[in-house]
Structures are given as structure tokens and as C-alpha cells.
């Protein structure tokens, strides 16, 4: 098992806070799968699994690898109290009860029904720049559409959606080479209190109103409505998830299709290829490259005991390129016929917003290709964002035509 004691030579080393490794992590991930499938970093005191089967097994074992101490490695070291309703950082039975509330809304059928609204918003973003010879997949679209869509769902006014997006981005951004700090994360949802108060007085046909009025059976078996504090947490979670990862997906769309013009032209000529292309982008460059779990009890992994109290980092981006799972995994291929990727997770904490992300990604790709069938990436001015929990672009400018 490799450790961080050796940072050079022939010993494989992984550090999620090093920008030089994060710029292109895949050569290191390949070495981890081959040489240290259970990896230990002594400097930051975490374990990591990198093979598909091991990541899948870990995420599927919610009793040993728990989420009740958060899913962000830095926060697990803090003695923090997870607010009620922060269901992504809770374990059963609390997680089960809260997740059931959101599952009523985020069904594939309901998300697909939103396609017209998403397309209208996408058109409003793209039409003003349709004649440009240079566009930015983040500034012109990725930074606007996901927040606009989730804002419409929640009932947040148009004029406030940019501020909501900026708050989310600030909570995830890190200084290069430094772990995320707990103080960055607003875990109370207080930024949304004004909207909740407004919807309590003036209910509407939106998700915020539905959250305020829905009844559910909580972990104690009591049938009740969510408290205001719980609704605040739900709104914060949905606004954050709806903004950050889909924005990253759009940025990767610009980069990957810009670097694979033959496949991009295939998609432009045959729109039936769009859903498969979205899945391949999600596999090839997942917006969330890793997710952490807290080890609740001693467990044997790959013949070694990982002690209780450890942090286990699940390298989803590595699992998505595991040679034992995917054919030629380092190649981008929209005609891939391999089993599903790991990007949306596994088990009880799999991503609730996956249906919405897929609809948004599909609509964005279709509408972009209508207006911009050809582009090349402006590599000199593309800027990778600094975050240990997501991976994507602050800017993704391209030359059109």
C-alpha cells in the first residue's frame, strides 16, 4: 500500500489538493488501479479506492461506509453537527425519510416534462450570441442555465439567481494546494430565508411551496410537514446541486466536443446520438471526481484492514476509466456499449438530480449544435476551477466556425 511519505521516484502518489495532479489526474489514477488499489495518504490521513468494483462496493455498503459525517473529506475531521434535513449527509432512518420527500419531485417523468421550460431558457441564453465568432461555454451558458432552471423550479426570482449561483461557487472554491475549510460552507440555508418567508405568505406552483406543504413520515414514524429550518436546508441543497455540477457538465461538453470534431459532427448530423454523447461525457469527465465516506467500523478492503474512524475517498473518475469495466476507457467514444458509468454514484445516496442533469445536458447539446456546429477550444484562455470536491472550468472559451 502506497503512502504519501514518498512523493517522487517510482512510488505512486495522489494528493487531491495539488493542482499539478488535478490538471490531468488520469495517469495517476491508472497507476493507483494497477499498483495501489487501496491507497493510503499519510499526510492527509485518508484511504482511497480507485477500481470500479471497489468504489461500487464501498458506495453500496452504507452501514460500514457512512455519510453521516458528510461526504467531503475535509469536513469529516471537524466536530460538526449535521443540520436536520441535510439528507445527503445523513444515514438511515433519517436519510430514508428525507430522501423520500425529494424523490416525489425528482422523478424522470417529471424532469422530462420540464424539457420545454429548459429549452426556452436555453434559447434565451443562446440566441443573443448566435452570430458570435467566439463564445464561452461557462459565461454564456453553463453559469446561467442550471441556476435559472433550478431557480424556476424552486421559485427564486430571476434577478436573484446570479447571486445564488455565486454563493454556491464560493462555498466550494479552494485555494490551490489547500483543503476546503468548514467556514466556507453555510449549513443553515439562511441565505434562502427571505424566499421561504415570501412563499409561506404567497404560495405558488413551485417546488418551494410544495416543500412547505408536503406531509411525510419522519424517522420516528410521525406524519408531519417539514419545519421551516428543514425547508431551508432542502432549498440550499437543491440550489447547490442544481447549479454546480450541471454547469461543470456544460463546460466539459464544450471542451470534449471541441477536441473530438468528428464525433461532434456525427451528433450534429444525427441528434439521436445526443443521449449517448451525454452519458459518455459524464463518464469521461465526471463533474464530481470523488466522494468521501466515513468508516464506521473496522473493515477488510483488498486484504487489508481499514480501521474505524478512517476516511475513504472513492475515486469515481478513476472507476469510470477502469480497464476491467470499460473497453478502451481512455478514449472518448459516443458509440460506447459498455455498462453504465459511476458518475451519479451507487446505493442509497445515488444522485437524485440525475434525471434533471440528463435533460439539461441533452437540451443544451441540441441547442448549441443548432447554432454552433463547429468550434475549437481556446486553450490559452480556458481556466480550470480550483476545488477539491468538483472538477470543471471557470472559463471554457471556444472559437466558432
Q: What is the pLDDT of residues 39-78, one digit of tens each?
A: 999 999 999 999 999 999 999 999 999 999 999 988 888 8
pLDDT in tens, 309-359: 999 999 999 999 999 999 999 999 999 999 999 999 999 999 988 988 999
CB 242 within 8 A of CB 150: yes
In whole angstroms, give the CA distance from residue 143 to residue 137. 8
How far, in Å, are 25, 213, 339 from residue 289 at the CA level?
10, 36, 19
Please choose, from the candidates 389, 370, 280, the residue with its C-alpha nearest in 3D space to the C-alpha of residue 331. 280
CA angle, 93 as apex, 87 and 98 as ends, to 5°?
35
Q: What is the pLDDT of residue 237?
A: 87
Burial of 8 per CB tally in 10 Å (0-12, 13-18, 19+): exposed
Bigger pLDDT: 386 or 288? Answer: 288
Q: What is the pLDDT of residue 78?
A: 80
Q: Where are the alpha helices (DSSP H) in 49-160?
A: 52-60, 73-76, 94-103, 108-112, 115-126, 145-154
Confidence check: pLDDT of 285 > 70: yes
Please choose, from the candidates 294, 296, 297, the residue with its C-alpha nearest in 3D space to the C-alpha of residue 311. 294
% of the chain surpassing 70 pLDDT: 90
Q: What is the pLDDT of residue 2?
A: 44
Confidence check: pLDDT of 1 > 60: no
Bigger pLDDT: 299 or 204? Answer: 299
Locate 211 and state its grid cell.
416543500
Task: Give the residue-averaged pLDDT of 154-161.
Answer: 74
Q: What is the pLDDT of residue 5?
A: 35
Confidence check: pLDDT of 186 > 70: no
Q: What is the pLDDT of residue 169?
A: 55
In whole angstroms, give the CA distance from residue 380 to residue 181. 30
In whole angstroms, give the CA distance from residue 106 to residue 187. 22
Bigger pLDDT: 282 or 74? Answer: 282
Phi, psi of 217 (to 5 degrees): -95, 115
Task: Give the residue-averaged pLDDT of 375-386.
Answer: 94
Q: What is the pLDDT of residue 155?
A: 83
Q: How confident is the model at residue 207 (pLDDT cuts 50, 70, 90)?
A: confident
Q: How confident is the model at residue 194 (pLDDT cuts 50, 70, 90)?
A: confident
- From 85-94, 145-154, 183-192, the region with the lowest mean pLDDT: 183-192
**DSSP string across 158-215:** GGGHHHHHHHHHHHH---TTS---GGG---S-GGGHHHHHHHHHS--SSHHHHHHH-E
Q: How confident is the model at residue 109 (pLDDT cuts 50, 70, 90)?
A: confident
Distance of CA 309 to the CA centre of its chain: 25
Distance of CA 161 to the CA centre of its chain: 19
Q: How confident is the model at residue 220 (pLDDT cuts 50, 70, 90)?
A: very high
Q: What is the pLDDT of residue 178?
A: 60
Q: Write down the residue that cell numbers 466539459 correspond to.
A: 252
Buried/exposed 182-216: b ≥16 CB within 10 Å, e otherwise: eeebebebebbeebbeebeeeeeeebbbbbbeeee
Q: What is the pLDDT of residue 181?
A: 59
CB 101 within 8 A of CB 211: yes
Q: What is the pLDDT of residue 162?
A: 64
CB 313 within 8 A of CB 292: yes
Distance of CA 283 to the CA centre of its chain: 12
Task: Give the residue-averaged pLDDT of 250-267.
Answer: 98
Burial of 117 per CB tally in 10 Å (0-12, 13-18, 19+): middle
Burial of 398 per CB tally in 10 Å (0-12, 13-18, 19+): buried
Average of per-residue pLDDT values in the chain: 89
pLDDT in tens, 4-53: 433 445 899 999 988 889 999 999 999 999 999 999 999 999 999 999 99
Distance of CA 4 to the CA centre of its chain: 27
Percentage helix, strand, coil for the chain under 3-state DSSP, each rounded to 5:
50, 10, 40
In whole angstroms, give the CA distance from residue 169 to residue 162. 11
Q: What is the pLDDT of residue 108?
A: 80
Confidence check: pLDDT of 182 > 60: no
In whole angstroms, give the CA distance from residue 67 to residue 48. 16
Q: What is the pLDDT of residue 4?
A: 40
Q: What is the pLDDT of residue 241?
A: 74
Q: What is the pLDDT of residue 238?
A: 85
Q: What is the pLDDT of residue 6?
A: 37
For the chain, which domains are there? 19-400 (1.10.630.10)
Burial of 112 per CB tally in 10 Å (0-12, 13-18, 19+): middle
Bigger pLDDT: 172 or 265? Answer: 265
Amino acid at each position: 500500500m502506497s503512502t504519501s511519505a514518498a512523493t517522487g521516484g517510482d512510488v505512486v502518489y495522489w494528493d487531491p489538493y495539488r493542482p499539478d495532479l488535478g490538471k490531468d489526474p488520469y495517469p495517476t489514477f491508472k497507476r493507483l488501479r494497477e499498483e495501489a488499489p487501496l491507497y493510503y495518504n499519510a499526510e492527509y490521513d485518508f484511504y482511497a479506492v480507485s477500481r470500479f468494483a471497489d468504489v461500487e462496493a464501498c458506495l453500496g455498503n452504507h452501514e460500514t461506509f457512512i455519510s453521516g459525517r458528510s461526504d467531503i473529506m475535509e469536513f469529516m475531521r471537524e466536530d460538526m453537527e449535521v443540520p436536520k434535513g441535510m439528507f445527503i449527509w445523513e444515514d438511515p432512518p433519517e436519510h430514508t425519510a428525507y430522501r423520500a420527500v425529494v424523490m416525489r419531485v425528482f422523478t424522470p417523468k417529471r424532469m422530462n416534462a420540464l424539457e420545454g421550460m429548459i429549452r426556452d431558457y436555453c434559447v434565451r441564453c443562446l440566441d443573443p450570441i448566435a452570430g458570435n465568432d467566439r463564445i464561452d461555454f461557462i459565461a454564456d451558458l453553463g453559469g446561467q442555465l442550471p441556476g435559472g432552471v433550478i431557480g424556476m423550479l424552486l421559485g427564486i426570482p430571476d434577478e436573484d439567481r446570479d447571486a445564488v449561483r455565486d454563493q454556491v461557487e464560493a462555498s466550494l472554491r479552494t485555494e490551490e494546494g489547500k483543503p476546503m475549510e468548514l467556514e466556507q460552507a453555510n449549513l443553515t440555508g439562511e441565505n434562502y430565508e427571505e424566499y421561504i418567508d415570501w412563499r409561506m405568505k404567497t404560495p405558488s406552483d413551485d417546488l418551494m411551496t410544495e416543500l412547505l406543504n408536503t406531509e411525510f413520515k419522519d424517522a420516528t414514524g410521525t406524519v408531519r410537514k417539514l419545519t421551516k429550518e428543514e425547508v431551508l436546508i432542502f432549498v440550499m441543497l437543491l440550489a447547490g446541486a442544481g447549479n454546480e455540477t450541471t454547469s461543470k457538465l456544460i463546460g466539459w461538453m464544450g471542451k470534449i466536443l471541441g477536441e473530438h470534431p468528428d464525433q461532434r459532427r456525427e451528433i450534429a448530423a444525427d441528434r439521436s446520438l445526443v443521449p449517448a454523447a451525454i452519458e459518455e461525457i459524464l463518464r469521461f469527465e465526471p463533474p464530481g471526481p470523488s466522494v468521501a465516506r466515513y468508516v464506521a467500523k473496522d473493515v477488510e478492503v483488498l486484504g487489508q484492514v481499514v480501521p474505524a474512524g478512517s476516511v475513504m475517498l472513492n475515486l469515481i473518475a478513476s472507476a469510470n476509466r477502469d480497464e476491467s469495466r470499460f473497453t478502451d476507457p481512455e478514449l472518448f467514444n459516443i458509440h460506447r456499449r459498455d455498462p453504465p458509468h459511476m458518475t451519479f454514484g451507487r446505493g442509497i445516496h445515488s444522485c437524485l438530480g440525475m434525471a434533471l442533469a440528463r435533460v439539461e445536458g441533452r437540451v443544451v447539446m441540441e441547442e448549441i449544435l443548432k447554432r454552433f456546429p463547429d468550434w475549437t477550444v481556446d486553450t490559452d484562455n480556458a481556466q480550470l476551477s480550483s476545488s477539491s470536491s468538483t472538477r470543471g472550468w471557470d472559463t471554457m472559451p471556444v472559437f466558432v466556425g
